[in-house]
Structures are given as structure tokens and as C-alpha cells.
Amino acid sequence: MPTGSPIAEANKISQLLRALPDEERFPVDVERVAKEVSRVRYANEPIVSIEPFDIKGVDGLLAQHPSAKKWKIGYNSQIQSPGRIRFTLAHEFGHYILHRQLRNRCQCSPKNMYEWDERNIEAEADVFASFLLMPLDDFRTQVAGQSPSIEMLRRCSDRYGVSLMAAALKWTEIATQRAVVVAVRDGFVLWARSSRSAFRSKVYLSSKKFTIPIPDESAVNQADATSGPITGKLRANAWFSNEPSDVELIEHAIAFEGDYPYTLGLLLLPDESPRWESPENEILAPVYQSLQWRK
């Protein structure tokens, strides 16, 4: 039978790791944790090997030995980023904790590592990895009182030993303001994720359903891997057509080269206008419904 939720299972392990001094607590030593936890909790089928492999188009894998008495985790030897390696290992460890009774082998592509919003086993493994590497309580402490920026995300990336992308995605889980994180390549959106308040106001990009070009004037289009992070302002409706024409958003962007070239964008929007500033016909409907309810 499947185990508990990805968040609950990751939090169980985090509770154990809290006993460590802070300098040993982060970044999480995934190899050590995976082997030790599996040895103690699942002595009849532990993880005994974590090693690189060379399979094109596969970032990570989890495989059961033919004897069904042990498991191994692998990661692509071509991955250059230590943060991507750590997240990949945590993702495969998540498959072991959550899905080993459903499958005896998982092979995961780079795309599988960023499907946090989908309800499938790849998304569950991503959520597990996110909460194991970046516990929410500690993450909140690290960003408290700070203005969102590439530098803020970089400090989190360094603390947890993850990619800037993973830190940005984590931040959207706790962001109170309207914000959207985008990954871009060749002038088009690879994927995007909105904070809760942004999504509720219909600020999101359906990159899985549509091919979405980047606005020509966007800072995300201007970022270069040799120049570091850049910041700019832009009409919000250049990205999100339902936003009023007088609303501006702030863009932070940084480009990366290497084994997974892309540009990371952080789009920050102002809060929605209060209800009393909305057009009259948008005000009357909820008031009328409220009066009807009171009868």
C-alpha cells in the first residue's frame, strides 16, 4: 500500500534531522539520509547504492534489485549543477519512500523535476524533495522581512544546496503577494508557477496548453548569462492580458548556461484593487447575492 503524503513523509525525516547542529543540518546530505533511513525503517529492502549513470534523456532513476531485497538510486553523470544533483537524489528518494510498492523502477526526465502542480507520482516525488531539502518553517525564517529578489533566492539556494529554480518554486508556496516564477528558453515559456494570490486573481501562464512567447520589451528577454541578474518594469498586461493597462509589474531575471540552459524570471505584481474601486456592475452582484441570502 502507498505510504503517507509527500509532505508528511518529508516532515518525518526533517524532525529527525532537527537534532543536528545547523552547520550539519543544511544542505541535507541526501545520500547519507536515504541510506540510513531506508536501513532503519525498511531493513528488508534498503537503499544500498547511489551512483552516477549515463542514460540520455534521464536525470534520475530508482531501481529494485532482481532479488527484491535492495534498491539503488542513480543520477545522470552529465549533470553539472550540485543543486540539480541534490534535488534529483531527493526526488528519487521520494519515489522510494512513496512509490516503491507501486513500481520497481522509476526513470525521470528533466521535465519530471518541475511538475509540482500535477497530481501524479512525479509531482509527489518533487514535493517530497522540496520539503526534505527546504523545510517550510526554516524557509519562512530565511525570507522573513526581505523584499523578493534574485539575491534573496540565491541566499536560499546556497543555504539548502539547491538550484535557484528550486528555491524560487519553494518561495511561491509562501509568497503573500501576487508573483509568478517563469522558466524561459529561446523566447518562450518552458513552465510557470503562480503564488496563491496571483492564481486567485487569474494571473497565471498555461504553458502546458499553449506556446507562450515572452514580451519583446521584457527584462526576461534581455537577460544574459555573462551579465548576472537584471531588473526592470513592464506593463502587467504585456504578460497577463486581464490586468488593467495602468498596472505595472517588476521583473527580476537571470540567465544560466551549462547542461540545462534557461532564464529564470520573477514577476512581481501589486495587490489587486480593493472591491470599492471595481466597476459598478462588479460590485452589485455580490451585494445582491448577500441581500438574497439574508431574506
Question: Taking a C-beta distance cutoff of 8 angstroms, is the pair 274, 280 a contact?
Answer: no
Portions of the chain given CATH number 1.10.10? 6-134
Q: How far apart are CA 188 and CA 109, in angstroms?
A: 20
- Torsion sign over Cα 245, 199, 150, 187: negative
C-alpha cell at 198: 496571483
Per-residue pLDDT tens digits for 128-146: 999 999 999 999 999 999 9
C-alpha cell at 13: 525525516
C-alpha cell at 118: 500535477
Look-up of cell digits 528488508: 44
Question: Taking a C-beta distance cutoff of 8 angstroms, is the pair 249, 234 a contact?
Answer: yes
The domain made up of 175-275 has a fold known as: Beta-Lactamase (3.30.450)
Q: What is the pLDDT along the chain (295 residues), one digit of tens a residue?
A: 446 899 999 999 999 999 988 788 999 999 999 999 999 999 999 999 999 999 988 999 999 999 999 999 999 999 989 999 999 999 999 999 999 999 999 999 876 665 555 568 999 999 999 999 999 999 999 999 999 999 999 999 999 999 999 999 999 999 999 999 999 999 999 999 999 999 999 999 998 888 999 999 999 999 999 989 999 999 999 999 999 999 999 999 999 998 789 999 999 999 986 543 444 443 333 333 333 333 3
Q: How far apart are CA 36 and CA 17, in angstroms?
A: 12
Question: Taking a C-beta distance cutoff of 8 angstroms, is the pair 14, 134 a contact?
Answer: no
Instruction: Please state, in angstroms and as integers, the Cα–Cα distance from residue 14 to each residue in 42, 45, 166, 265, following that order.
Output: 17, 22, 18, 30
C-alpha cell at 149: 529578489
Per-residue pLDDT tens digits for 162-176: 999 999 999 999 999
Portions of the chain given CATH number 3.30.450? 175-275
Per-residue pLDDT tens digits for 192-232: 999 999 999 999 999 888 899 999 999 999 999 998 999 99
CATH 1.10.10 describes domain 6-134: yes
Contacts of 174 (CB under 8 A, 6+ apart): 136, 139, 140, 143
Question: Taking a C-beta distance cutoff of 8 angstroms, is the pair 102, 2 a contact?
Answer: yes
